[in-house]
């Protein structure tokens, strides 16, 4: 039990918690606006999307902060804040830092959408897709538990579900019939 309460245990637990919460947030956010979800259910999904996004971000922040005080593999402030700066698993840790900044940009523009405008918010709101992939790669490549069967399964299942959610989101934006009809209308009038 003492091992899980160590700084290293907190780092791992915060990282995995962040990853899973951000997976839920990105998936619910993408799936919640597909044609498969009724307008009635979107309000509940929006709450889940926002809360899991914020808690995922906060657990990611905790993950980085505790790295600063860990005695076994301490990171400097610069190594935690600057992507690809550290000598320890440079690429994998760089992916994690970039993902963190991408999620941060989404949260900032969401909370101050009126300040930034809806156009900026919409553009920035596509960042969670590459950010999630970077988070997955960070966990797989830098995670000390990545060799465990359960952790491998977690990454495989969340990765596959993420792909399915993205496909559903892209596939159900506008039905194919509507696209063909609008295209035919435009070309016949042209």
Per-residue pLDDT of the chain (190 residues; tens, 9 = 90+): 555 568 989 999 999 999 999 999 999 998 887 777 888 888 899 999 999 999 999 999 999 999 999 888 889 999 999 999 999 899 999 999 999 999 999 999 988 888 888 899 889 999 999 999 999 999 999 998 999 999 999 999 999 999 999 888 887 655 545 444 433 333 333 4
Q: What is the CATH number of the domain that holds 30?
A: 1.20.120
In a domain, 2, yes or no: no
Is 137 inside a domain boundary?
yes
Instruction: Tell me what pLDDT residue 92 has.
Output: 94
- Per residue, the 3-state secondary structure of the chain, as one string, reads CCCCCCHHHHHHHHHHHHHHHHHHHHHHHHHCCCCCCCHHHHHHHHHHHHHHHHHHHHHHHHHHHHHHHCCCCCCCHHHHHCCCCCCCCHHHHHHHHHHHHHHHHHHHHHHCHHHHCHHHHHHHCCCHHHHHHHHHHHHHHHCCCCCCHHHHHHHHHHHHHHHHHHHHHHHCCCCHHHHHHHHHHHHHHC
Name the residue range of residue 129's domain.
Answer: 7-189
| Cut 0.75: pTM above it | yes
Report the pLDDT value the prediction gives residue 187, as an integer from 0 to 100. Answer: 38
Q: How many domains does the chain have?
A: 1
Per the domain annotation, does 1 fall within a domain? no
Q: pLDDT digits over 30-48, tens only?
A: 888 777 788 888 889 999 9
Query: Is 14 a domain residue?
Result: yes
Q: What is the pLDDT of residues 47-72, one digit of tens each?
A: 999 999 999 999 999 999 999 998 88
């Amino acid at each position: 039990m003492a091992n899980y309460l160590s700084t290293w245990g907190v780092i791992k637990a915060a990282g995995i918690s962040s990853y899973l919460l951000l997976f839920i947030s990105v998936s619910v956010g993408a799936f919640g606006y597909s044609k498969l979800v009724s307008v009635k259910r979107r309000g509940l999904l929006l709450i889940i999307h926002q809360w899991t996004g914020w808690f995922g971000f906060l657990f990611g922040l905790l993950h980085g902060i505790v790295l600063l005080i860990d005695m076994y593999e301490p990171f400097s402030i610069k190594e935690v804040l600057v992507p690809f700066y550290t000598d320890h698993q440079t690429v994998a840790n760089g992916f994690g830092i970039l993902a963190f900044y991408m999620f941060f940009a989404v949260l900032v523009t969401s909370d101050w959408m009126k300040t930034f405008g809806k156009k900026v918010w919409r553009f920035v709101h596509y960042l969670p897709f590459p950010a999630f992939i970077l988070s997955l790669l960070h966990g797989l490549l830098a995670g000390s538990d990545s060799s465990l069967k359960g952790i491998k399964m977690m990454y495989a299942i969340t990765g596959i579900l993420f792909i399915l959610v993205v496909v559903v989101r892209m596939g159900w934006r506008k039905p194919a019939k509507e696209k063909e009809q609008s295209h035919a209308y435009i070309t016949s009038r042209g």
